[in-house]
Each structure stands twice: as structure tokens, then as C-alpha cells.
């Protein structure tokens, strides 16, 4: 929450107030058609809420209709109230959508196109966007994202009948012909997140040692609030890049079984001492950075998806002695989406075996409830 307000805090507050005012006006005057948006409320409740459809797009914007919306691994923690994201909020931030309308200045997409909608909002014009650091766009308040309520700004959620896209040319990426929207829904976030841990590192690793190991550290305890699609996608992409010694450490037996079915070496984090330290360690443990760094080989790289904790312990002296490089932070999704879609279109990455449930969007409260409580890996909701 602190990061969300550390720059442009007044602008974020104005945006939140404007959305609230707009909703109140809509309720009073009933001028815009209504649609359903899935709300996650305290107590793990998931329910449809009737809200106004987005207004007609501004000159640079678009309105889209999600065709396939996927759970992000973080959604489980949000929906079950195990994160700092204040509830209630409109859930969902990974989707492939059909464009319904575009503003007059939009040139790259048109009504009827199928597009990937990145989970982060970005303008395409600021220095950060132009440098490919789209997750830190300075044209919008920090950490502007769909489906995260107050923290991300009230842009709406992807488990809904429509979604407003403020910068269509900057954000939307056409879905290549022949790529199934269900398989590409998670490209909006989790698959890009997996990709950024692999693509910059594995080619260099394998050029130095063709047998170089990749260690993916996921849950270190069985009770864990993040779904496990990210470690599995990361393993599949590492294999697609030619790594054959890929280990997934997870305390959840079901995740180890799933990783094994994907051809990855699965082990319990307790067993990590049996492995040599790895030259590339990918930390998706959500908070056990210390262990990930301890298992990184001399001159190795540890790349972490971060954590929701305020602080983390690091083995500073060992890192210094071993000369370990740590990258800790968020993905710049929009900049990576074209390369990830190329992997899918070329058949180098098949996300299908990661998906555990596909259900109609109208069944969202039930399907997502089962996903969050039953340890689902990836649920995709489809609109007709």
C-alpha cells in the first residue's frame, strides 16, 4: 500500500474518489447499462456484483470483453484475506479479451480483435515505458494494476463482463492466429513472470555449462496461500530454453506430483541439501529468500518474484563471499508479452498441462471458491 501512494498519491486518491462518485451517480441516474463483476469480500466470500459498464473509451482507450480470464497465483491470497490488499475488491487481472470499442486515436487494434490485456496499466509514452520498464510507468500512479482494489487503483477486475483499457495502443497485444485464448490468458501476468526469470539467465548459464542446474524454490510449508502455477510455468520455460536439470522444491505433495508429471525433478525443500548449489535459483517462495540465496552457487544468480512481507533476511556475508547476484522485484509484463506469445505460437511452450480447471465465467463464484479452497493450480473462466 505504501508503494502505491509514494508517487502521485494525490492522483491515486482522486482516481479512487472519481470512481466512487461515478458509481454513485450511475446508481442514482441508472444511465449506463449494467454488467457483472466478481467481487472478493472479507471472509473468503466471492459474489457477482452489478456495476455500470465502462464509459465509452477516451481517445487513447478501449473497452474489451474478457474471453478467457485466469487466476493469478496471488488471487488465492487476496481472496482468502491472507494479503495486505484491502477487501472488498473486484478480482482478476489476467485475461485474453475481445475489443468492443476503441477511441479515435487508437490505431493498433480495432473492434473484434482478440488481445492479451497486461495486468499492469501503462501509458506507452513515459521514459520508463519507452525503456521497456512498463511495470514502473510514470504516466499512472505506482503499481497501477487490474484486480487489486485500492492498492492497484480502481481499474476494475478481469473476472467481469467488460474492462476499460486506458491506453489501448500501449497496452494491448494481438493474440496470434491459432493460439487458444484459454492457454494465453495467463500470459497477461504469471507466464511473463516465469519468463523473466528464465530468458535473461538460462542461455548464459548453459553457454558456461550445458548441464547447469536451475532450482525453483516454491512453498517451504504445506499451508501456503499462493497457487503454484508460477513454479510450474518457470520449469516449463526453463526446459523450453534447453535446461535439462530443472528442480522444483515445494512442500506441497500435490505440487510435487504435478511437477513430476511435467517432467521436472520435484523435491521437498528439506531435501535441498542433497543438491549442489545451483548457478540459477528462482525464488517464488513468497518469503523464503534466505533459503534461496543460501542455495545459490558462487557467482550465481538468484532472481526472486518478491514477497508481501515488509522485510526479508538475507545471508549477506555468504552472498558477499560467493559473489551472488540478487534480483528482487516485479515483472514488466507488457514489454515481455510479445516474446512469450511467440513461444506459445511456435509450440515451444504448452501451458495446457498447468491448467487444472476451465469453467464458464458465469460459474465464477463456485469455480474460484473451489480453486482457492481446493488447492487449484490454474483456473480459467471463459465467456461465450
Which residues of the chain form contacts with Zn ion (CB under 5 A)?
Answer: 72, 74, 122-123, 126, 129, 137, 139, 189
If you ran DSSP here, which 8-state letter would residue 169 be given?
H
CB nearer Zn ion, residue 126 or residue 179: 126
State the minimum distance, in angstroms, from the CB of residue 189 to Zn ion. Answer: 4
The string of DSSP codes covering 169-206 is: HHH-EEPPTT--HHHHGGGGTHHHHHHHHHTTTHHHHH
If you ran DSSP here, which 8-state letter would residue 272 be given?
G
Spatial separation of the C-alpha atoms in residues 77 and 382, rounded to whole Å: 22
CB nearer Zn ion, residue 127 or residue 242: 127
Q: Which residues pair with 90 in a beta bridge?
A: 39
CB-CB contact of 255 with 248 (8 Å): yes
State the minimum distance, in angstroms, from the CB of residue 140 to Zn ion. Answer: 7
State the minimum distance, in angstroms, from the CB of residue 306 to Zn ion. Answer: 11
CB-CB contact of 331 with 213 (8 Å): no
CB nearer Zn ion, residue 192 or residue 213: 192
Q: Which three cell numbers, joined as nine digits, stand for 331?
A: 515483472
Spatial separation of the C-alpha atoms in residues 91 and 40, rounded to whole Å: 6
State the minimum distance, in angstroms, from the CB of residue 356 to Zn ion. Answer: 17
Nearest to 216 by CA among 272, 144, 143: 272
Residue 250: CB atoms within 10 Å: 27
CB nearer Zn ion, residue 318 or residue 330: 330
State the minimum distance, in angstroms, from the CB of residue 274 to Zn ion. Answer: 32
CB nearer Zn ion, residue 121 or residue 281: 121
> Burial of 309 by CB count in 10 Å (0-12 exposed, 13-18 middle, 19+ buried)?
exposed
Spatial separation of the C-alpha atoms in residues 259 and 237, rounded to whole Å: 13
State the minimum distance, in angstroms, from the CB of residue 300 to Zn ion. Answer: 27
State the minimum distance, in angstroms, from the CB of residue 60 to Zn ion. Answer: 12
Identify the helix (H) or strand (E) that includes residue 282.
strand 278-283
CB nearer Zn ion, residue 306 or residue 315: 306
CB nearer Zn ion, residue 123 or residue 158: 123
Amino acid at each position: 500500500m505504501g508503494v502505491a501512494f509514494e508517487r502521485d498519491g494525490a492522483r491515486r486518491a482522486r482516481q479512487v474518489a472519481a470512481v466512487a462518485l461515478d458509481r454513485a451517480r450511475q446508481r442514482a441516474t441508472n444511465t449506463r447499462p449494467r454488467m457483472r463483476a466478481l467481487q472478493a469480500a472479507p471472509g473468503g466470500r466471492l459474489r457477482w456484483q452489478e456495476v455500470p459498464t465502462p464509459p465509452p473509451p477516451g481517445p487513447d482507450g478501449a473497452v474489451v470483453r474478457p474471453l478467457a480470464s485466469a487466476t493469478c497465483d496471488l488471487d488465492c491470497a487476496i481472496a482468502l484475506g491472507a494479503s495486505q490488499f484491502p477487501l472488498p475488491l473486484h478480482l482478476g487481472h489476467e485475461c485474453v479479451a475481445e475489443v468492443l470499442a476503441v477511441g479515435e486515436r487508437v490505431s493498433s487494434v480495432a473492434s473484434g480483435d482478440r488481445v492479451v490485456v497486461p495486468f499492469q496499466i501503462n501509458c506507452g509514452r513515459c521514459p520508463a515505458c519507452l525503456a521497456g520498464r512498463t511495470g514502473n510507468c510514470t504516466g499512472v500512479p505506482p503499481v497501477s494494476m487490474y484486480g487489486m482494489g485500492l492498492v492497484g487503483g480502481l481499474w476494475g477486475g478481469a473476472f467481469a463482463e467488460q474492462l476499460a483499457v486506458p491506453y489501448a495502443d500501449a497496452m494491448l497485444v494481438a493474440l496470434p492466429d491459432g493460439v487458444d485464448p484459454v492457454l494465453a490468458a495467463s500470459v497477461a501476468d504469471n507466464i511473463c513472470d516465469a519468463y523473466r526469470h528464465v530468458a535473461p539467465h538460462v542461455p548464459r548459464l548453459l553457454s558456461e555449462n550445458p548441464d547447469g542446474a536451475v532450482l525453483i524454490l516454491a512453498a517451504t510449508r504445506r499451508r501456503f496461500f499462493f497457487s503454484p502455477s508460477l513454479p510450474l510455468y518457470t520449469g516449463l520455460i526453463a526446459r523450453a530454453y534447453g535446461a535439462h536439470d530443472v528442480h522444483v522444491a515445494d512442500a506441497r505433495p500435490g505440487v510435487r506430483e504435478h511437477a513430476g508429471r511435467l517432467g521436472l525433478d520435484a523435491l521437498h525443500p528439506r531435501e535441498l541439501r542433497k543438491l549442489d548449489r545451483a548457478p540459477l535459483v528462482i525464488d517464488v517462495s513468497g518469503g523464503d529468500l534466505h533459503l534461496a540465496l543460501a542455495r545459490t552457487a558462487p557467482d550465481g544468480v538468484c532472481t526472486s518474484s518478491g514477497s508481501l512481507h515488509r522485510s526479508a533476511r538475507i545471508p549477506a556475508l555468504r552472498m558477499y563471499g560467493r559473489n551472488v547476484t540478487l534480483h528482487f522485484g516485479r515483472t514488466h509484463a507488457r514489454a515481455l508479452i510479445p516474446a512469450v506469445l511467440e513461444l506459445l505460437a511456435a509450440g515451444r511452450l504448452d501451458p495446457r498441462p498447468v491448467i487444472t480447471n476451465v469453467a464458464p465465467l458465469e460459474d465464477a463464484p463456485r469455480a474460484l471458491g473451489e480453486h482457492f479452497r481446493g488447492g487449484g493450480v490454474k483456473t480459467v473462466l471463459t465467456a461465450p
